[in-house]
Amino acid sequence: MAQRTKMARYAWAVLLVTVLAVAGGYAWVAWSKGGPGEGLYSRLWQPDKVFGYWNPVRFYGYDGPMSGRYEGPQCVECHQALTPGIVADWRASGHAAPKGGKPVYCDSCHGKDHARLHLPDPAVCGGCHAERHAQFQDERRFGFPSHALAIERAVDAKHFVDKPKAEVTACLQCHSVASKCDSCHTRHRFSAAEARRPEACITCHSGPPHPDDETFFASAHGKRYLAEGDQWDWKKPLTKGNYKAPTCAYCHMRNGKHQVADKTIWKFGLQEVNPRTSGNEVRRKQWVDVCSDCHDAAWSRQQLEAMDAERKRAWTKLYAAEHTLKDLRGDKLLQPTAGERPPYPLDKPGALFARERIGYFDGQSSAFYNVSPIERDYFEMWYFDNLGAYKGAAHGAPDAVAHGHRKMETALENIKQKAQTLRQQGKPPAAGPWWVEGEYTGHNKEHN
């Protein structure tokens, strides 16, 4: 009996500690988000004024000279002289002359009290466009990467706090797609026809980390768009038969559904996954359904299988590079070692279990900071060359696939050659303190 009583007390003690730990964790997160910034590290950075345009609900506050309450027609009358371009865009929009309804004036989105004007966020737009807003928010269930979580992805990253503010502002110009609708529907026209064109997407989806533009325009679909797209009627819905070739929105937002992450079989090429899980089988069917608007279903499935094969080839190369780097790490041949490098942003120097991060599951998605040259070579192989090959396969651009794999092969060979040189040199001497402190790091500590 005494033994059972002792065990019961032990179990209750464990349960109590667990409950307190969970409650403490929630309390810590709530406290950490209560600072002047945003996200998990909001107490460690101050927003610049321009942040009000990237995250209006959190940071925007009108500080102009005007006050008073005004109705929509009064706003238009005044701004016709002050900002005629904005008024011209509004007059050309569906808001100015909606079918079967009253005009949606400025005060519907910005408020009537001029001293407390606000910029519209997705929730404001959702007041009228409830179905589209719900679809957009539902994208959160797919996790990262997704539009609905883009702001959190930025501000919850440690290096966001450490970066110079000019860089952070540049990041938020795209990541702000989560906090305002005018990333795709430019104000004040908010044209669906404009948002259906690829240019609305490639404002952000371009460059080495996400080469969607160059791979789409290299595909048969993209080439036809470049040749004929200016003659297409972009007012037509994104439904079967309305367009001669698909564009970004047609495939990723079929029938106008505001959810882009619902067909991510390969996690955008960044992570090796099982393409035949039950969830991915559902997504594969969605892919085939979209492609079958124009192509035979059997042919569409073959294209997916070709992408699977491309991913297997890509990860064979990537794992070969990871294996080479992990062998170097095991023999302590990476220089400087993790313990000799500047700490990762917000980490304390001299961490007890400092470890070089190699590969996706070691944390490679953030290991482009404070790494040795050979590790950076792998990062670029994984994040740039690999993504170029994957996006080529996903967008039907075989030349981009071949180019990406050639670059991966070159990168792998260079990594192997550098590894051989490091082995020939033997264990390196200890790194000097100049690795940790310098003009830039000192400036950052004082000004960020």
For the chain, give the longest Cα–Cα distance. Answer: 88
CA distance 341 to 345: 11
**Is CATH 3.90.25.10 the classification given to domain 299-447?**
no
pLDDT for 366: 59
Reading the block at residue 378, the tokens are: 């792998």
pLDDT for 315: 95
Q: Tell me the CA end-to-end span of the chain in Å, nearest whole number.
A: 62
Q: Are 291 and 303 in contact (CB under 8 A)?
A: yes
Tell me the HSE value of 171 on the side-chain side, using a 13 A CA sphere.
17
Domain ranges in the chain are 205-260, 299-447
Would you say the C-alpha torsion 353, 358, 364, 366 has a positive or negative sign?
positive
Tokens 């919850």, residue?
156
Tell me the HSE value of 23 on the side-chain side, using a 13 A CA sphere.
6
CA distance 185 to 132: 13
DSSP 311: H
CA distance 75 to 87: 9
Q: How far is CA 234 from CA 182, 292, 294, in A?
A: 18, 21, 18
CA distance 5 to 126: 57
Neighbours of 62 (CB within 10 A): 16
pLDDT, one tens digit for every residue, the chain (448 residues): 666 676 777 778 888 888 889 999 899 989 989 999 899 999 988 888 888 998 999 999 998 889 999 999 999 999 999 999 999 999 999 999 988 889 999 999 999 999 999 999 999 999 999 999 999 999 998 888 889 999 998 899 887 887 777 778 888 889 999 999 999 999 999 999 999 999 999 999 998 888 999 999 999 999 999 999 999 999 999 999 999 999 999 999 999 999 988 888 888 888 888 999 999 999 999 999 999 999 999 999 999 999 999 999 999 999 999 999 999 999 999 988 888 877 777 777 666 777 888 888 887 665 777 788 999 999 999 999 999 999 999 999 999 999 999 999 999 999 999 999 999 998 877 777 777 776 666 666 666 5
Exposure letters 139-157 (e unless 16+ CB within 10 A, then b): beebeeebbbbbbbbbbbb
pTM assigned to the model: 0.89
The type of residue at 137 is: Q
- Per DSSP, the residues of 330-396 read HTT-SSS-GGGSPPPTTPPSS-TT-----SGGGTGGGTTSS--HHHHHHHHIIIIIHHHHHHHHHHT
Neighbours of 127 (CB within 10 A): 11
Select from 331, 339, 353 the least CA-distant residue to 422.
331
